[in-house]
C-alpha cells in the first residue's frame, strides 16, 4: 500500500492500494470517494464533483477527493470501492 496524503503528523492518513493507483493513472482523471447506500464509493469527478470540504489525496498528477463524511472512517482506498460498471481491470 502507498500513502499519498499531504497531512500533518496529527492528521488521519489514507492508504491507496496499488491496483487503485494503477486504475487512476490509467484513466488520467480525478476521482472522489463519496457516500453510497452500500458504503464508500470511488467515482470520477465527472460523475460526482468534489466539494470544498473534501480531503485531497494525490495519486501522481491526479487527485482523489474524499468526502469529509467518509474521511473519518476511511483508512484505505481499495478496488472494492470501484463500482462494478466502472471496473475494467
Where helices occur in 15-59 by DSSP H, the ranges are: 18-27
Per-residue confidence at 41, pLDDT binned at 50, 70, 90?
A: very high
What is the domain partition of the chain in residue ranges? 2-82
pLDDT at residue 77 in the model: 96
- Fold exhibited by the domain 2-82: Hypothetical Protein Aq_1857; Chain: A; (2.60.300)
**Strand, helix or coil for residue 12:** coil
pLDDT at residue 89 in the model: 46
Mean pLDDT on 68-85:
89
pLDDT at residue 36 in the model: 87
**Using CA atoms, how far apart are residues 70 and 54, in angstroms rounded to an integer?**
9
Q: For the whole model, what pTM was predicted?
A: 0.81
Whether residue 36 contacts residue 45, with contact meaning beta carbons closer than 8 Å, is answered with no
Amino acid at each position: 500500500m502507498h500513502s499519498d496524503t499531504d497531512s500533518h503528523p496529527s492528521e488521519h492518513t489514507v492508504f491507496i492500494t496499488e491496483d487503485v493507483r494503477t486504475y487512476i493513472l490509467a484513466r488520467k482523471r480525478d476521482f472522489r470517494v463519496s457516500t453510497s447506500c452500500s458504503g464508500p464509493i470511488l467515482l470520477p469527478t465527472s460523475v460526482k464533483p468534489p466539494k470544498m470540504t473534501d480531503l485531497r489525496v494525490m495519486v501522481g498528477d491526479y487527485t482523489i477527493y474524499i468526502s469529509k463524511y467518509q474521511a473519518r472512517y476511511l483508512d484505505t482506498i481499495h478496488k472494492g470501492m470501484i463500482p462494478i460498471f466502472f471496473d475494467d481491470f
